[in-house]
Amino acid sequence: MKKTKLGATLVEMMIYIALFTVVSFLVFQFFSFLVTSRKTTDANNVQTKILKEAEDVVDEIIKDGGSIDVDESGNTITIGNYQGNPSISCTVGYNATSGTVESTCTGGSTQTLVSGVVANSVVTTYGTTDNTTIDNYYNWSWSENIGWLDWSNVSLNKETNQLVGYANVINGYDKLSLNCLTTNTCSKVNYKVYLGTDGQLHGYAWGENIGWVSFNCLEGDNSGGSTCASSNYKVSVNAQTGDWSGYAWSENVGWISFNCLTGSSGGGSVCATSNYKVKDSRTKNGVVSMAFKVADSKGIVTDSKWEFEYNTNTKFSVSSITPSTGVTNNSSLTISSVAGSSVFQNGARVKLVKTGEMDIYPTTNFTFTSSSQLTNGVFNLTRKVAGVYDVVIINPDGTTGTIKNGFTITNS
């Protein structure tokens, strides 16, 4: 009689044990890889955050300076006439002894911005920026239906010739996005505004309430075809001056004018009564950059390059704003005085600036009383975010003055 096999032989058991051991080892290695990868990713994210915060600090120092100089060794940037004060200068540079990037201003202590910089890796140079920003005075377009649009948060990428950022509707709460990259929606809806080789802007922008805005009749219909035969419009950019001119079109809000020279309904000038245009900063701004490698405590090395655009116009000092506080939802706050010392020009503009928020412009412009005083500007603080704001004054020639943290909006 044939016997039934009830269990595995010793050899089979050894094979099973070996297979189990191999599989367990592979599973352990796989999960160890996932944990290590996650830790590396987390470390990289922390390092990136630290570098971005340090970059923002340097950017603010440069923006508040009136002059800039790079030493020939390539390790230090010197920012003069800081915040309009000719007796204050700041330096940002590499300290080889401590392996850090540091900043120091006259009369202040040294601030360590980045630690663990690899020796001899800091290179500071003048160069050309990847982006051209919008002028800080001529940054306005006009629509009969929605009013003023502020283009100061828009820039032109020189490599792709695409516009990025938002134009803000001053009398409302809408933003006009110039590129799906700005809203991170390209996988869902692919749109952009770009500068063509013909010196004209092309494509579409998008706003939640405004809807689509077309910048050229060549792509004016719903399928991207031409409407020039029935409606000939375009927005052009002057290659020498950076001035924008012409009109864009929206089905919802109508025409948007970019230059007072063509601002009337018949295409004539309205500059005598309303002097506005959008102009990019190609004739005013220079660029300085810093590139270096930095290692964290775990030895993970990150390549970093900072690039800063600076305005060649000088800065001036502003002494006070009265009052210096306002309450959220106050729709008509009168600022009786902004004072300086023979620094203001007729036509100077005032705005409140807070990082991450839309700039706040007066609903009634300030009166130019003298070169030392601007008076009776009115701000609408309805739905504005409470907090501390910089007070920025911009003269028609592009010179600027700032009261850092000069104005506070409170909830009550």
Contacts of 353 (CB under 8 A, 6+ apart): 359, 360, 389, 390, 391, 392
pLDDT of the residue at 159: 84
Helix (H/G/I), strand (E/B), else coil: 69 = strand
Region of 389 (left: φ > 0; alpha: ψ -120 to 50; beta: rest) is: beta
Per-residue confidence at 376, pLDDT binned at 50, 70, 90? very high
pLDDT of the residue at 206: 95
pLDDT of the residue at 130: 65
Contacts of 49 (CB under 8 A, 6+ apart): none
Contacts of 143 (CB under 8 A, 6+ apart): 149, 253, 254, 255, 256, 257
pLDDT of the residue at 197: 94
Name the residue ranges covered by the structural domains of the chain. 49-119+291-299, 131-280, 316-410
Share the mean pLDDT of the chain: 85
pLDDT of the residue at 316: 84
Cis peptide before 323 (omega within 30 of 0): yes
Of 148, 155, 216, 210, the C-alpha closest to 360 is 148
pLDDT of the residue at 340: 92
* For the chain, percent of residues with pLDDT exceeding 90: 47
Q: What is the pLDDT of residues 170-190, one digit of tens each?
A: 887 689 999 999 888 999 999
Q: What is the pLDDT of residues 185-233, one digit of tens each?
A: 999 999 999 999 999 999 999 999 899 999 999 998 888 899 999 999 9
Per-residue confidence at 292, pLDDT binned at 50, 70, 90? confident
d(CA 244, CA 225): 23
Q: Who has greater pLDDT, 362 or 286?
A: 362
Dihedral angle over CA of 183, 188, 190, 191, nearest 10 = -50
Examine the pLDDT at 37 and tell me if it is beyond 60: no
The three state secondary structure string of 115-155 is: CCECCCCCEEEEECCCEEEEEEEEEEEEECCCEEEECCCEE
Q: Which CATH architecture has domain 316-410?
A: Sandwich (2.60)
Alpha-helical (H) ranges within 196-249 are none
Examine the pLDDT at 42 and tell me if it is beyond 70: no
Q: How far is CA 208 from CA 143, 173, 183, in A?
A: 17, 10, 11
Q: Element (H or E) spanning 25, and its range?
A: helix 10-63
Q: Hey, what amino acid is at 266?
A: G
Sign of CA dihedral 145, 151, 157, 158: positive
pLDDT of the residue at 304: 82
Q: Element (H or E) spanning 49, and its range?
A: helix 10-63
Half-sphere exposure of residue 27, counting CA atoms within 13 Å on the CB side? 6
d(CA 104, CA 93): 9
Q: How far is CA 376 from CA 91, 303, 370, 390, in A?
A: 38, 50, 13, 18
Examine the pLDDT at 119 and tell me if it is beyond 70: no
**Under 8 Å between Cβ of 92 and 289:** no
**Under 8 Å between Cβ of 164 and 155:** yes
